[in-house]
Structure 1
Amino acid sequence: MSDSDHDRDNDGGPEAYYNDTHRAFLQAFLSRGSMTFREAQPILAAIFTIDEKQEEGDKAKGTEPADVTQEDFESYVSALSTMTSPLDIEIRSITHQVSKERIYALVNTTSDPVTQLATLHNAEEIAFIRRVIDAMFDKYNTPRMEVMCLDGMQANKLRSAPRNEDEDVPPQEEDGNGAATQTIGGLKGLRSSEVENVMHSMVEEGWFERSREGFYSLTARALLELRQWLVDGYNDPDLNPNEWQRIKFCEACREIVTVGQRCAERDCCVRLHDGCGDGFWRSRKERKCPRCSRDWDGKHFVGERAVTETEAYMRGRRRSGKGRSSRGDVGRSSLAGQAIEYGEEEEEV
């Protein structure tokens, strides 16, 4: 079904083609924060059906989700972008690094990004979320292991802000599990149970995603929202383009890489999303890094596979017989966490 069937006044400014069907779609978008074309099809079909029945009454046939085209969807996204732009809100899109689906998200272009993605949380929780993101892109993101994710055990260790060694030891309280929490900078920190609740809520709200192996990472929507903030916060603008940086972009699509493949040369910054690799190499005569000319073997990874593809991790799984873990892993030692810690210790040797 063509979008022109629902937009009948095409003269004049943007308001001329923005009607109640667009407003209904915007409400659906706002309630979700992000959306794929596949997710939008039944929503738009329901909106189109209601609009048809208002125009034609009971004789209206209605619209099936399969009848909603990519053109319909993109037309509505374009109209929403035009109308929300004066409010400093944009609709941006990115390809999910694992599912390969194109994801469209509402992005606030003016407010502090981390505060924006944590608006439903209190000050202690926002401070904790900042520490989690910092751990993802700093502590667990080194030239040797670009993990850029963490598990529940690492998250629980971040429940209180680190204390400045030059300061007096702040007063401590015990949480419900007998673990001490510190009051730092006027913030008490979180209890272990609260850490679990915050991590779960960040998944439910679409900012973090949790893998089957128990690793938490930023969603595609969060990468859209935080793109410039991550670059400004973790990359050194004074380094030359060939020096290692914490935030790196796919050589093919130019989006941030937190899941994919890396050059075998530790200090080289060339990265590729798994889904971008085939098209990228088809246009080249040989599989060599375009910057350092090192052979590209596809066996060096970014993301949780930087840990899970190691012999140490696989050996640990065989010894423990550990299966997939559930949500309730915060505060308990896990194989995923041990593997990250192992990588850090090996790097220090």
Structure 2
Amino acid sequence: MLINEYTDAHRLFLQASLSERFFTEATAIEIYLQDQETFTEFMTTLNAKLNSIDLEFRKSHNEEDGSAVWALVNTNGDEIAKMATEYTPIEISFFRRLIELIVTADDESFSVSSITALKEVVKLKTSISKSNGEILLQRFVDDKWLSRSRGGRYSLSLRSILELQYYLKKEFEDYLSECILCYDIVTKGQRCEMAQCKARFHHHCARRYFDSKNNKKCPNCEIGWDSSNVIGDCDSIDSGSRPKRSNNQTTKKNTRSQKLEVDYDQMDQDDDDDQMEQNDE
């Protein structure tokens, strides 16, 4: 593709984008507002200039509704380390631990409860109190590093998935899956019923793929595809239920899912006990 001249229009777009770094395509087009290049050509020209300083505007899609988004991301090195301009080393250590808990969560839930997140503050033996931990978690959400569901569970935001993808793939290769259609990381979507099958779709990619098919079959193993068999935090999708497991899944998987439910209940009880002890004091 022909790279056009880098102009004041590109500089203004970059300046307007620096404060957010993450925005919908509709917002990006509003900022773009010029007709000398198509929007695609405009972004190509901009990225050609940014590549020399290891930055890039990258397009992706919201995992839940499929809407197009753009993010200004670092293309070289550990982006988490660059968070030092915004967070203290202790806060970054806490964030790294949250990422680990989220990505390695049982049953591909890719989320962690607020109770578990706050208890991790104590385990890390940091100087962060429980109340300051709650404030820090909200800051991660406000800065779009984490998402918080209606049920109070924390998961990776699209900003984290885009900006930290090199770190995520390097550190958690065995835990993360790519969408079989778009090849982006998927933490909220659908999965094949067969435990041995690695097929995963984003919800919007599944709709695109199966809309043109007469029979919904897994593109990998060709077993019937059940769209209610999901991964990710179910509180963030319309079903409002935990991920469905079919009879084809292994007993070990079902047992682990049941144990996970018990653990959540125990965490809630522990939190209530902690509160009662504080009140007694």
SS at match of 2:208: helix
Q: 1:134-192: per-residue Cα shift (whole Å, max 9, x none)?
A: 00011x1x3xx111112321210111445xxxxxxxxxxxxxxxxxxx3xxxxx34211
- Aligned pairs for 1:231-246 (under 5 A) are 231-235=169-173, 245-246=174-175
Aligned to 2:56: 90
Q: 1:159 and 2:91 equivalent?
A: no
Equivalent pairs: percent with the same residue?
29
Aligned to 2:227: 298
Residue among 27, 32, 57 paired with 2:15: 27
Q: Quickly say closer, same or farther: Cα 1:98–1:158, change in 2 above 3 A.
A: same
Aligned to 1:269: 198
Aligned to 2:98: 132
Residue among 181, 189, 214 paired with 1:252: 181
One-letter amino acid of the structure 2 residue matched with residue 148 of structure 1: F
Aligned to 2:254: none
Q: 1:226 and 2:164 equivalent?
A: yes
Q: Give the conservation status (yes or no) of the 8 Å contact 2:230–2:243.
A: no
Shift of 1:278: 2.5
Q: 1:78 and 2:49 equivalent?
A: no
Q: Which runs of 5+ in 1 are unaligned?
A: 1-12, 49-67, 163-181, 183-187, 236-244, 313-338
Q: Give the conservation status (yes or no) of the 8 Å contact 1:137–1:246.
A: yes
Shift of 1:343: 6.0
Distance 1:218 1:303 in 2: 10
TM-score (norm 1): 0.64
Residue among 191, 213, 217 paired with 2:155: 217
Shift of 1:341: 4.2
Aligned to 1:58: none
Q: Which runs of 5+ in 2 are unaligned?
A: 245-257, 266-281
One-letter amino acid of the structure 2 residue matched with residue 158 of structure 1: E
Shift of 1:285: 4.9
Q: 1:113-150: per-residue Cα shift (whole Å, max 9, x none)?
A: 32234640001100000000000011x1x3xx111112
Aligned to 1:342: 261
Q: Give the conservation status (yes or no) of the 8 Å contact 1:161–1:189.
A: no
Q: Quickly say closer, same or farther: Cα 1:117–1:131, change in 2 above 3 A.
A: same
SS at match of 1:100: coil
Greater Rg, structure 1 or structure 2? 1
Distance 1:256 1:97 in 2: 9
Q: Quickly say closer, same or farther: Cα 1:340–1:102, change in 2 above 3 A.
A: farther
One-letter amino acid of the structure 2 residue matched with residue 252 of structure 1: L
Q: 1:21-71: per-residue Cα shift (whole Å, max 9, x none)?
A: 2211101111111122211244334xx6xxxxxxxxxxxxxxxxxxx89x6
Q: 1:250-269: per-residue Cα shift (whole Å, max 9, x none)?
A: 11111111111111122321
Shift of 1:111: 2.6
Aligned length: 248
Runs of 4+ in structure 1 off by over 6 angstroms are none
Q: Give the conservation status (yes or no) of the 8 Å contact 1:117–1:207.
A: no
TM-score (norm 2): 0.78
SS at match of 1:116: helix
Aligned to 2:129: 191
Q: Quickly say closer, same or farther: Cα 1:24–1:191, change in 2 above 3 A.
A: same
Deviates more, 1:303-312 or 1:85-94: 303-312
